[in-house]
Chains A and B, each alone.
Chain A
Amino acid sequence: MAKKKRKAAKAKPAKAGRRAARTKASRPQAPRPEAKTVRGHHDMGGLPAGAVKKREHDYALWEKRVDAMMVLLSDRKRRLMNTDMLRRGIESLPADAYDRMSYYERWIHSIATMMLERGVVTRAELDARIAKLKRAAA
């Protein structure tokens, strides 16, 4: 079974050319032959991770704002977000972005993605606001 699968994977790039090569490059880890599917990158319970850093830290103002935004978007009046949507947005991050981002960076990425998806804000509005803030900070 495993042997068969490997053979099929090998035959693909030769046949489909550039497109297959790109697909392969975006998937650096091949699934283990016995796995039914690839484990979600976020679903890392039980994987080797080293010691837990037991250190308290303060939250930056922007992190508190992200948290507050999540609370307000999820309240009974608005119901634009919920925990599971937040999780879906985080879980759909590519593995390298997931690793690079901090906890609240993942949150704001997910919140922005969900608000774009629901049409609450548009990409143009978001880009304009980011550009304005960048100009103000420069």
Chain B
Amino acid sequence: MNARFAPGDRVRVLAAYPPGHCRTPYYCRGHAGVVERVCGEFGNPEQLAYALSGDPPRPLYRVRFEQRELWPGYRGRPLDCVEIEIFQHWLEPA
């Protein structure tokens, strides 16, 4: 599977709430950030969690979010950020 996004691209995490295991933290869902790097391709953890193959491998990105984007009323420095590794099927262009 080809990587849909490149470093510098602005992306938004899906505001999705599926049942079962996933590795996308609740607090970043629906929020926008910037792709910091493409980490490679990995088996889909949402399938691997059920002893399924996890194929085809999915591109994984390190996405940088500004803290003030994630937390209403964030009082730290304006450039504070957090980086989260998120699979491609959780991201859309922003």
The residues of A with any CB-CB pair to B shorter than 8 Å are: 36-37, 39-40, 43, 45-46, 82-85, 87-88, 91, 118
CB-nearest residue of chain A relative to B27?
A46
Alpha-carbon separation in the docked complex, A84 to B46 (Å): 8
Q: Which residues of B contact A39 (CB under 8 A)?
A: 26
Assess whether A43 is in contact with B21, with CB atoms less than 8 Å apart: no
Binds A, one of B1-9, B33-41, B48-56: B48-56
Alpha-carbon separation in the docked complex, A40 to B45 (Å): 17
Assess whether B48 is in contact with A45, with CB atoms less than 8 Å apart: no
Give a binary string over B42-77; 1 marks a CB under 8 Å from any A CB, 0 the rest. 000110111100000000000000000011000000
Q: Which residues of B contact A82 (CB under 8 A)?
A: 48-49, 51
Assess whether A87 is in contact with B49, with CB atoms less than 8 Å apart: yes
**What are 29 A-B contacts with C-beta separation under 8 Å?**
A39-B26, A40-B26, A43-B25, A43-B26, A45-B25, A45-B26, A45-B27, A46-B27, A46-B71, A82-B48, A82-B49, A82-B51, A83-B45, A83-B48, A84-B21, A84-B23, A84-B45, A84-B46, A84-B48, A85-B48, A85-B50, A87-B21, A87-B45, A87-B49, A88-B20, A88-B49, A88-B50, A91-B21, A118-B51
B94 close to chain A: CB less than 8 A: no
Q: Which residues of A contact B25 (CB under 8 A)?
A: 43, 45
Given A37-B17, A45-B25, A91-B21; 13 other pairs, CB 8 A cutoff: A36-B15, A40-B26, A43-B25, A43-B26, A45-B27, A46-B71, A84-B46, A85-B50, A87-B23, A87-B45, A87-B49, A88-B21, A118-B51
Interface size of B in residues (CB-CB distance below 8 Å): 16
Alpha-carbon separation in the docked complex, A131 to B48 (Å): 33
